[in-house]
Every structure is written in C-alpha cells, then in structure tokens.
Chains A and B, each alone.
Chain A
Amino acid sequence: MNRASVSLRLRLVLQLLGIAAVLAIVLYFTVRTVADEAAEATQDGVLGAATLAISESLQGGDDGVNVDLPYEAFSILGSISADRVFYRITTGDDTLTGYPDLPQPPKTDAAAAPVFYTMPYRDTEVRIAAVVRTVLVARKPVPVMVMVAQTRQGQEAIAQSVAQRAAAIGLGSFVLAAALSLLTAGNVLGPINRLADAVGRRGPQDLRAVDHPTPVELRPLITALNGFIARLRGALSRTETFIAEAAHHIRTPLATVRARAEIALRQSNSEETRETLRAVIRAVEESSRSAGQLLDHATVVARSDRLADEAVDLARLIAAQSEAFAPTADLKDLTIRMSVEPVVVQGDRALIEAALRNLIDNAVKYSPPETTVELTLRRDGAAVVEVADRGRGLGGQGTSRLTKRFARGENASDVIGSGLGLTIVSEVAAAHGGRFEIVDREGGGTCARLLLPLA
C-alpha cells in the first residue's frame, strides 16, 4: 500500500500506540530503578545501623580490643528479611572475630561514616557496610574496622515483585493509552469525516460555496475548494452565456432567411424551386427552434440558482402558449383542446413559460396530422399540467432517459429535434421543487405531466 494512502485513523492510532508503548517501557524501568534504589537504601540503612552499633560496642584496654556484639544489631538485620548475615572485625590485617574471608572495602579509607559496597562472597553476592573506629589499646590509638554483610535475597525478592508490578502497571497504562488513542483518533478525525460527508452528500448541480463549520487546520482546504467551485460556476455561467449569445445571434439571421425564403416562395412559379424553398424554410424553422431551445436551456441553467419568486397564473400562461402554437397546429390540422382550472403557483415565470412552450412544442411536433393535443391544468395536491398527444409513444423508454440532455427517443429519428426540450422541462420542475414524468397513454400517444408545488 502506498504510504500516502494509509488511513489517517490508522496512522494516528499506530503512532499514539507507539508513543504509549515507549512511555510504558520508560515507566517500567523507572519504577524498577526507583524501587531497586529504595530497597538498597533500606538495606544500607539497616546494615549501617548494625555496623555503627557494633563499632560503638568496641572497647579498648591494656590487653587489646574487646568486642561485645549487640544482639539487636543482628536481630534487626534478620527482621527486615531472612537473609544470611556475615561480619568481620579487623585491626590492620588481623581478624579479631567473625568471618576472616569477608572482603574489605575496595578503598581502604573507610571513615567513621559507614561505606557500602557489593561483593561476591562464598556462593552468593553480599552487600557490605564497613566503618572504622579508633580504639585506645595500651594508650595507643588502634583503628578497628567493623564490617557487616548481608545477602541480597530479600532485596532481590522485593525487586522481583516490584518488577512484576511494574510490568503490570506498564501493561495497564499501555492498554489504557491504547483505548484513549482510539478515542482521540475518532475525536480528531471527526470534523474531517463530517466535512467529507457534507461534501459527498451534495447533488451534482449544487455549486454553492461550502459553508461547513471546520477546524482552523481545514480552512485552507475549504477556501481552496470554494475558490474551485466559484471558478467552476463562473466557467459554467460563461458557457451558458456564450450559448445564449450564440443562439440569439443565430436566430436573428435565421428569421431574415426565413422571411426572404417565404417571399421568394410566394413569387416563384417553378414548382421545383418552391419545393426547395419549402425545405429551406423547414430547415430554418428547425434551426430556429433548436436555437430557441438552447436559449431556453441556458436560461434555465442560469436562473435555477437564483429563481425569481413571483405569482404565476398557469391558466393564462397555457392559454397564451396554446394561442402561440395555433398556426403551427393549423398547418398539421391539429386540434388543441384545453381543460383548464385557474391555478396560481409561486415561481419563475420565464422558466415556467419555457417549460410549457417546450412541452406543447414537443406534443405538436410528434402528433400525427388531424389528431388532438389535450392541455389540462388541474389542482391535485400540486399544480398538474398535462399535455397529451396521440403520437408514437415512448417506445418503452422512461422519463429519466428522455430528460437527459441531448437524448432523443429511439423512435424519433425521422423528426428533427435537438433533444433539449424535455431536459428543459425536467430542469424547471427540479428548480421549483416539482416533478416531471412522461407516460404512455391509453389508445396510443404520450402524456407528459409537469407537477409544480402550489403557492
């Protein structure tokens, strides 16, 4: 796996666990060291006290040094641990009493305060305290060294039990740290996950700036993202503007061409020329329609971000459109029948008008001659506009397929069209929070239904 693609959570948890492990190990060794030192200090304290007690019992005299070992000195050594005890009392190299092979301190300058050292002795290791005291023998000062030694089994037992406890503490703290690091990772990554969710939930048309509360560290990302969105929106809007401009600029000369062609049609006597001119007029008409639809579509896209919010009288709009299409319908001997209730919705008049125009245009275009196109407006929880024709139907294709941009019905290849008409209707419906659907009609033809929320 690429290192850069490793999950943030995994990375964070692993690093925190690593830190916790290091800390647990440090804790373990710290506890051990401190406990070992404490145990040694305890042993040294008792050994030192025993050594001093013996040195205080030393007595001089005319016939040599006398030692009266205090019982308690040894008994106390026995009371802190069941360790073996050795002692040795020397003047110079002569051992007065005790164990003559007990090692002397490495440095011979043992003072009145006890010195401590650890040495191997017999089959084990001993801690030794040594102290020197001067005693008068025949009125001459004689230095006498007292050494008391104790094996270290008790200390080792303490060290072992401490080591076990330290290990348990280390392990416990590691487990605790592991749990906390999981919690921390979740906590730290929460805002990132929430932001990712919020961005992921957006619809494909949603080009609003991201306005999600985020930690400071994520602000640059948000700023960059918003800048990117703004540029994208700018680019889209420029594209739509360009299309609208282009369509507008094409329509005007097309109108001129059509006017000239109609004049020429009227003036021409040659049937051949007239046929050619009629074809020109049809083509110009289609081009003009397509340009109109491109313009409509650009308008819809441009306005859907910032809809006008006004009362729109649907009945009147439908009547106006029906009137506008009357000449075209007459050419094909179509009857446009209206069944309209007065319904007012809240929305963008221009967009709704474009949607109605494209709906009726579609119906008129795909209706065979001498049929009826029925326009219905009714109130059924929403404002429902139905445009029904006796055309060739949907050919088994659904609304979603037909409302795609530049998609045309598979059974419509012989009719000129851009494929934008139903897209416009669908986008207008979506922009108003409404719905658009096309269904096959009983007895042939289709019924296109636009539902807009009531005011």
Chain B
Amino acid sequence: MRAFVVALGLILLLGSVAGGFTVEEEVLFPPAGQPGRELSILSTTDTDVMRPVIEAFQAANPGIAISYTVANSQEVYAAINDEGKAFDLVISSAMDLQMKLANDGFAAPVRSALSEALPGWARWQDRLFAFAQENVVLIVSRKALGAHQLPQTRRDLIELLRDDPGLFRGRIGTYDPARSGAGYLFATQDVRQSDSFWRLAEVLGGLSPRLYTSSNEMISDLKHGRLVLAYNVLGSYAGPRLADNKDDVVVELEDYTLTLLRTGLVPRTARHPELGGAFLDFLLSPNGRQLIREKAGLPPIDGAALFASPHLRPMRLDPGLLVFLDAFKRKAFLDEWESALNRK
C-alpha cells in the first residue's frame, strides 16, 4: 500500500509536470502587472537563453504570465503530435520535426505584418516561422593542432585526418545521429549537400570518434582538451563559449556551411493562440531581434548576412525535410552510417 502511494505520487508528479512526454525544465514567469492570461511555451531552447526575451515581452505586455517548458526536440514533437498538448507556442531547432507538425496540420495559421514580411526561405505557408539562423560549424583547438593548417573545407579536413591519424584518434567529436535529432538532421542535410560526407564518415570511423548528443558537451570537451576538433557543432553555442579562448576557433567550412533555422509555430490546440502569435511577432520585431542577438546570443533572421556569405546554405523549409523522417529512410541512413563508421 505504501509502495502504491509512493508510485501514485510519482506518477502524479510526473503527470502534473509532463503528462507523458519528458520535460527537462518548467519555469513560470509571473506577470509584470495584475495577473491575467497565461502564455504557455514549449521549447527546445534553454530557459537561460530565452529569459531576457521573455522578460522583455512581459514588460511590454503587462498582465501576461508565461510558463516556459523545456524538452528535447523529440519530446516536443511527441507532446504535440502524439499527445495533443495545449501549448500556445512551440519553439524548436528541429526543423524537420517542426516541418512535419506543420505539414500534418498541427499548426494554426498566423497572419501578421511581421510574419508576412519574413523572406520566403524563413517561413512555410502561414504556419511555420524562423526567428534565428544558426550556422553548423567545425570547432578546432588550435593548440592541439600544432603545426597543422586550419582546415577550410571538408576536403582539407579529410586530408588533415588522414595525414596525422595519431593526433586525432579518439579526440574527434561529432553528433550521434542515432541518438540525437539535431545530429541526424545535420548528417542527412550533409548527405544532401555533398558526397564527401560519406568519405568523411569513413575517415572518422578509422579514428574512433566520440559521439555526442549535444553541442554543449562537445564544446566543453574541446575546451578541456579532450577533443582536437568537433564536427557539426551549433555555432550559436560555440561562438560565445569560445570567445574568451584564443586557442579554440570556430570554422565555417567554405565548401558549404549548413544554416539551421530555429522555428516557432502556434499549435491548433493552443488555448491562447493570439498570445502565441503575439510572442512570435515579438521575436520577429526589431526590438525582439535585437534582444535575440544581444541577450540570447542567437543570430536573428538576416537575408543580407546570408547573401554576403555565399558558403552559407540555409536548410530549406519544405516537404523535403519529411523524407529523412521516413522509417525506411532513417533505417537506411543509419545502416549506412554504421557501416561507414565501422569500415576499417
């Protein structure tokens, strides 16, 4: 009986917080003025990153409480797709899953002057809107690299790894596409861009790479000298964290550098879709863009920056993203990845 009560308590606790999907963190921001409506946001972005933006929004819109729930991208997708949770805004860096939610009809239309002013590549229909563009980069410890030149392209990188396998063995990091949604997205987009990805995978496979599920872990390990370089790291995280460290550098490969779009959508199940839309508009407003850049440390949507850097390839928000979510396609890709990695 006692065990049952504890179990029930645990279930209630988990249920009250998450209701099925796994929540990493849930923070309630009380309203600036009189308590009124509550805006609920489900996001993959850490609370600390978004806190300045949330507080500025509340200052501009007194009376709105915000509950900010953080989960990983798979859980965010499941919360909406499988469980039909009632959130007013869903923010995720997993473009493919966001695209699938929008395509499968889970997103409500949002029409505003700011959302319609977004360039075509940064939105899909009136359902899915990007508010940050983040480059997927290579990070390198220059000190560990020694006399070697910094690689500027994937071809340079492959040659570098082949030239000095002793230096790199066990000291290369990248995402594990089987365990990380972001890693899977980056790897499959790499495959779309160039065949050199498979050659890179084969070379990596010979060097016993360390496989991660988050950019932050890779950045940490590089800073602590456990890695010489890490491939496919989110530049928006690496840039600020490596800024005070002259030994570690962020490299945007010149053959191409993927650009991830962090997107938001208002689910059909939203209790207050107008609040979700208002927060989205705030993210796209000049004030919001400035906060995203300066306080959140994320690059806001900027077509001119893309145009100025021809090596940047924003991932396209179109149904093509659905292809790699297909079970057959995923299995085929992961099989190929395994076999490339394990080839001697």
| B112 on the A face (CB < 8 A) | no
Q: Is the CB of A71 within 8 A of B323?
A: yes
Smallest CB gap from B329: residue in A: A69
Interface core residue of A86, A123, A153 (most chain B CB under 10 Å): A86
Residues of A within 8 A of B332 (CB): 66, 68
Q: Is the CB of A122 within 8 A of B329?
A: no
With contact pairs A71-B192, A75-B316, A85-B319 given, residues A97 and B326 touching in the complex (Cβ less than 8 Å)? yes
Q: Distance (Å) between the CB of B315 and the closest chain A CB?
A: 11
Residues of A within 8 A of B104 (CB): 84, 86, 99, 122
Q: What CA separation (Å) do A37 and B319 show in the bound complex?
A: 24
Q: What CA separation (Å) do A18 and B329 show in the bound complex?
A: 62
Tell me which of A71, A99, A124 contacts B320 (CB under 8 A).
A71
Tell me which of B102, B316, B319, B328 contacts A97 (CB under 8 A).
B328
Q: What CA separation (Å) do A74 and B320 show in the bound complex?
A: 5
Q: Is the CB of A84 within 8 A of B327?
A: no
User: Count of A-B contacts with CB under 8 A?
Assistant: 59
| A82 on the B face (CB < 8 A) | yes
Q: Distance (Å) between the CB of A101 and the closest chain B CB?
A: 11
- For window 59-76 of chain A, which residues contact chain B by CB distance below 8 Å? 66-75
Smallest CB gap from A67: residue in B: B328
Q: Is the CB of B326 within 8 A of A67?
A: yes
Residues of A within 8 A of B319 (CB): 74-75, 77-78, 84-85
Q: Interface size for chain A: under 10, 10 to 19, 20 to 34, or 35 or more residues?
A: 20 to 34
Tell me which of A69, A86, A122, A153 contacts B323 (CB under 8 A).
A69
Q: Is the CB of A78 within 8 A of B320?
A: yes
| B62 on the A face (CB < 8 A) | no
Residues 203-224 of A, flagged 1 when their CB comes within 8 A of B and 0 if not, give 0000000000000000000000
| B125 on the A face (CB < 8 A) | yes
| B46 on the A face (CB < 8 A) | no
Residues of B within 8 A of A79 (CB): 318
Q: What CA separation (Å) do A420 and B129 show in the bound complex?
A: 107
Interface core residue of A68, A71, A99, A123 (most chain B CB under 10 Å): A71
| B124 on the A face (CB < 8 A) | yes
Tell me which of B105, B316, B324, B329 contacts A124 (CB under 8 A).
B105
Q: Distance (Å) between the CB of B98 and the closest chain A CB?
A: 14
Residues of B within 8 A of A96 (CB): 328
Q: Is the CB of B105 within 8 A of A75?
A: no
Residues of A within 8 A of B323 (CB): 69-71, 73-75
Q: What CA separation (Å) do A97 and B323 show in the bound complex?
A: 11
| B322 on the A face (CB < 8 A) | yes
With contact pairs A66-B332, A69-B326, A82-B125 given, residues A122 and B318 touching in the complex (Cβ less than 8 Å)? no
Tell me which of A68, A69, A75, A99 contacts B318 (CB under 8 A).
A75
Q: What CA separation (Å) do A66 and B326 show in the bound complex?
A: 12
Q: Distance (Å) between the CB of A290 and the closest chain B CB?
A: 104
Residues of A within 8 A of B322 (CB): 74, 85
Q: Is the CB of A68 within 8 A of B328?
A: yes
Residues 88-127 of A, flagged 1 when their CB comes within 8 A of B and 0 if not, give 0000000011110000000000000000000000111000
Q: Distance (Å) between the CB of A68 and the closest chain B CB?
A: 6
Q: Distance (Å) between the CB of B331 and the closest chain A CB?
A: 9
Q: Distance (Å) between the CB of B332 and the closest chain A CB?
A: 6
Residues of B within 8 A of A71 (CB): 192, 320, 323-324
Smallest CB gap from B125: residue in A: A82
Q: What CA separation (Å) do A75 and B322 show in the bound complex?
A: 9
Interface core residue of A78, A79, A96, A99 (most chain B CB under 10 Å): A78
Smallest CB gap from B123: residue in A: A82
Q: What CA separation (Å) do A116 and B268 show in the bound complex?
A: 30
Residues of B within 8 A of A70 (CB): 323
Q: Is the CB of B327 within 8 A of A97?
A: yes
Residues of B within 8 A of A99 (CB): 104
Q: What CA separation (Å) do A75 and B124 show in the bound complex?
A: 13
| B103 on the A face (CB < 8 A) | yes
With contact pairs A82-B124, A82-B125, A124-B105 given, residues A74 and B318 touching in the complex (Cβ less than 8 Å)? yes
Q: What CA separation (Å) do A85 and B319 show in the bound complex?
A: 6
Tell me which of A75, A98, A122 contacts B326 (CB under 8 A).
A98
Residues of B within 8 A of A98 (CB): 326
With contact pairs A82-B124, A122-B105, A124-B105 given, residues A66 and B328 touching in the complex (Cβ less than 8 Å)? yes
Q: Distance (Å) between the CB of A407 and the closest chain B CB?
A: 91
Q: Distance (Å) between the CB of B220 and the closest chain A CB?
A: 34
Q: What CA separation (Å) do A84 and B104 show in the bound complex?
A: 7
Q: Distance (Å) between the CB of A350 and the closest chain B CB?
A: 100
Smallest CB gap from B318: residue in A: A78
Q: What CA separation (Å) do A70 and B320 show in the bound complex?
A: 9
Q: Is the CB of A85 within 8 A of B328?
A: no
Smallest CB gap from A121: residue in B: B105
Residues of A within 8 A of B320 (CB): 71-72, 74-75, 78
Residues of B within 8 A of A66 (CB): 328, 332
Q: What CA separation (Å) do A69 and B333 show in the bound complex?
A: 11
Residues of B within 8 A of A122 (CB): 104-105
Smallest CB gap from B120: residue in A: A82
Q: What CA separation (Å) do A96 and B102 show in the bound complex?
A: 23
Q: Is the CB of A84 within 8 A of B328?
A: no
- For window 28-71 of chain A, which residues contact chain B by CB distance below 8 Å? 66-71
Q: What CA separation (Å) do A86 and B125 show in the bound complex?
A: 16
Q: Is the CB of A69 within 8 A of B105?
A: no
Q: What CA separation (Å) do A319 and B125 show in the bound complex?
A: 114
Residues of B within 8 A of A75 (CB): 316, 318-320, 323
Q: Is the CB of A85 within 8 A of B103?
A: yes
Residues of A within 8 A of B103 (CB): 84-86
Smallest CB gap from A79: residue in B: B318
Q: What CA separation (Å) do A27 and B323 show in the bound complex?
A: 43
Q: What CA separation (Å) do A98 and B323 show in the bound complex?
A: 10
7 extra interface residue pairs, beta carbon distance < 8 Å, beyond A68-B328, A74-B320, A97-B326 = A69-B326, A72-B320, A79-B318, A82-B125, A86-B104, A96-B328, A97-B328
| A-B complex: 5 closest residue pairs judged by Cβ atoms | A78-B318, A75-B320, A85-B319, A67-B328, A74-B319
Interchain residue pairs with CB less than 8 A apart (15) = A67-B328, A69-B328, A73-B323, A74-B323, A75-B319, A75-B320, A78-B316, A78-B319, A85-B319, A96-B328, A97-B328, A98-B326, A122-B105, A124-B105, A153-B125
Q: Hey, which bits of chain B sit against chain A, CB under 8 A?
A: 102-105, 124-125, 192, 316, 318-320, 322-324, 326-329, 332
